[in-house]
Structure 1
């Protein structure tokens, strides 16, 4: 079928007769009528006029999904539709209970990009008890209010952490204690373990090994735990003490990430305490 389009309202008029002169929609005179076309082509036929002037319209294919849905919503089929969607909801609820939490945590905790192993890192010297550290992500000041029992024995405290994302969380804490406060490696390790263990952590596995950072003794605790029953995270917690000063470097990432431990080791190896 060929059509003649109206210049006024853009309506397409079926070109069935040589007498089509006015638009069926707005009543305005159409352009390129057969009478007008014959003036330039006195020997032309109507079929030639149709092929020369008429336009074709691609017919829309019926939407099979819409047709099926309309059919299902008919009164005779409504009972079947209700039963079907009820079953779907039950299955989704069951799947959500079993796999939903794991899926959500998997999306929230991305893996570390492999490019971190080869890219240039930024090195920063931070804190009053100056600590130099290289990281693939920028560390920002992240001071938190200390618990009352800790605040009363602490002269100075400073905390840095990267923003969320990047597959790894790096926290650097620095403390200076008053002269009458015992600040040894054992106390530091116990305090770090106590402050990092929360109610939403379970099934914790860890081991502690002695390390030496800039000639000072430290302890590195490595392990993993189940976070909120949905995802297993790994951690590396390093504590170093010197006199009344204490440094904590806490690193967390997904336990199934093969790249993250390499990144964490590179961070820890970059540490220098001045």
Structure 2
């Protein structure tokens, strides 16, 4: 089964057939139904529509599971447990999540529905070494530096032999009050040290959560398929003040380079999952990588 967010009322509804035009919830004609979508995409079949616009039942079950976890966190019943992370990926997660502090200064009038209905453009970012599909350009983050990541990595590994040397780091981000935050990052490591994706977060996680004002941070990981690229997906939830958020993330590795992509959104707006799934489907990793020194000065 597949679901879409009604263009009229914004509710997630099951797609019963390719001929479905009216929303079963609000009874109005949907602008993002397959018949309407096919007018804008001549020659594309129903399978292409589902891949581009809809969210699968499997993904939706993941959202419901995260809500269950979130409710336990809010009630204070989620037990603290040792987390095993994907190495420096947790650093990127928390750095990206921290940007939500700025949302509290705005009137959250934007909508995820409007974001989904915009034309999504394909863009190649040479510094990231990746192609992404999104309606707006991702802006470079100046706070995301080699020194910052190296300090956090050293705090994570301590004096152990797991220490990794960061050679290059770049991150781009887009965020709109009331909708989603999208982060795309690339990290290059010293080849002699390799890349350990399963470092424990014993020294860094709690400190970073406190510094960013986050509570109840939980996440889970799964394998993810990208042709010829090692990849893993993350899904999780957290509290920022009194507001609950969920996120979906994707980590890909090729050689000694790691890419990290994340989409975070308010739990009150589950249609944010549609943005995440659509964003992840448009990612293409460039295996002909430039050296970190080539983009460091840009």
Bucket of the pairwise TM-score, normalised by the shorter protein: 0.5 to 0.7
Deviation per CA, 1:169-228, whole angstroms, max 9, x where unpaired? 1111101111212214334x969x949952122123322111022321211110111112
Gaps spanning 5+ residues in structure 1: where?
A: 1-103
What are the Cα deviations for residues 88-127 of structure 1, in whole angstroms up to 9, with x where unaligned?
xxxxxxxxxxxxxxxx959655664313223211221114
Show the counterpart of 1:205: 218
2:171 matched residue in structure 1: 159
Q: Which residue of 1 aligns with 2:53?
A: none
- SS of 1:198's equivalent in the other structure is helix
Residues 118 and 164 of structure 1: is their aligned pair in 2 closer, same or farther, counting only changes over 3 Å?
A: closer
Cα distance 1:190–1:203, how it changes in 2: closer, same or farther (>3 A)?
closer
Assess, with a 3 A threshold, how the Cα gap between structure 1 residues 196 and 270 changes in structure 2: closer, same or farther: farther
| Residue number in structure 1 paired with 2:186 | 174
Q: Residues 127 and 158 of structure 1 are in contact (CA less than 8 Å); yes or no, is this contact kept in structure 2?
A: no
Q: Is contact 1:161–1:170 with CA below 8 Å preserved after alignment?
A: yes
Aligned CA-pair RMSD: 3.1
Query: CA 1:136–1:129 in 2, change beyond 3 Å: closer, same or farther?
Result: closer
What is the DSSP-based 3-state SS (H/G/I as helix, E as strand, rest coil) of the residue aligned with 1:203?
A: strand
Larger radius of gyration: 1
Matches of 1:194 and 1:127, distance apart in 2: 31
Identify if the C-alpha distance between structure 1 residues 156 and 195 changes in structure 2 by more than 3 Å, giving closer, same or farther: farther
Q: 1:138 to 1:257 in 2, by over 3 A?
A: same
Structure 1 consecutive aligned stretches of length 4 or more whose deviation exceeds 6 Å? none
Counterpart of 2:239 (choices 216, 220, 226) is: 226
TM (norm. structure 1) is 0.53
SS of 2:275 mapped into structure 1: helix
- The higher-RCO structure (CA 8 Å, 6+ apart) is 2
**2-structure distance, mates of 1:247, 1:122:** 20
- The answer for unaligned runs of 5 or more in structure 2 is 1-102, 155-163, 287-298
